[in-house]
Amino acid sequence: MLSFRGVKRRFELIYRDAHTAYFDDYAHHPTELQAAIGAARALYPQARITGVFQPHLFSRTRDFADGFAEALDLLDEPILLEIYPARELPIPGVSAAMLLDRMKNPNKRLLAKGELLNELIKNQPEVLLTLGAGDIDTLVEPIRRWLSQKPENLKA
């Protein structure tokens, strides 16, 4: 028990300093998104919470679109990436833009994976969540590296 470090990719703390906290979570269902966002809100009630969500599977996105939209609206700054298709072919009309259209949050954005880091640099999140079961985990290390190298975090 003393060596147990928790479950990987379940509200996993990736980075924390005096300015920013960053968690990664495998959440790929509306209930899981609500749980991760709720946990962040409970830990940091006054902070601006930015969440980056990569939907996983076209069929799941279609089937739970309204639930995804409601859960993502709980974020202060929701960012969507395109759907990670895994084992499915695209379904006409099903896309991250479809989710974005269902969301009410005025701060919602849809980005390509390659645009994300620049967007984070520009907006300087206070609490950051990366969420999803696709290949969003490939962004974890570049984000952690950027956070640890921000000028205010480097030791003189």
- pLDDT per residue over 13-67, tens digit each? 999 999 999 999 999 999 999 999 999 999 999 999 999 999 999 999 999 999 9
We report the CATH number of the domain holding residue 68 as 3.90.190.20
Structural domain span for residue 95: 17-127+140-150
Torsions phi, psi of 106, nearest 5? -70, -15
- Give this prediction's pTM: 0.92
Residue 132, in any domain of the structure: no
Residue 47, in any domain of the structure: yes
Q: How far apart are the first and last CA of the chain?
A: 37
Which residues have C-beta within 8 Å of that of residue 57, sequence separation ≥ 6? Answer: 28, 83, 84, 85, 86, 87, 88
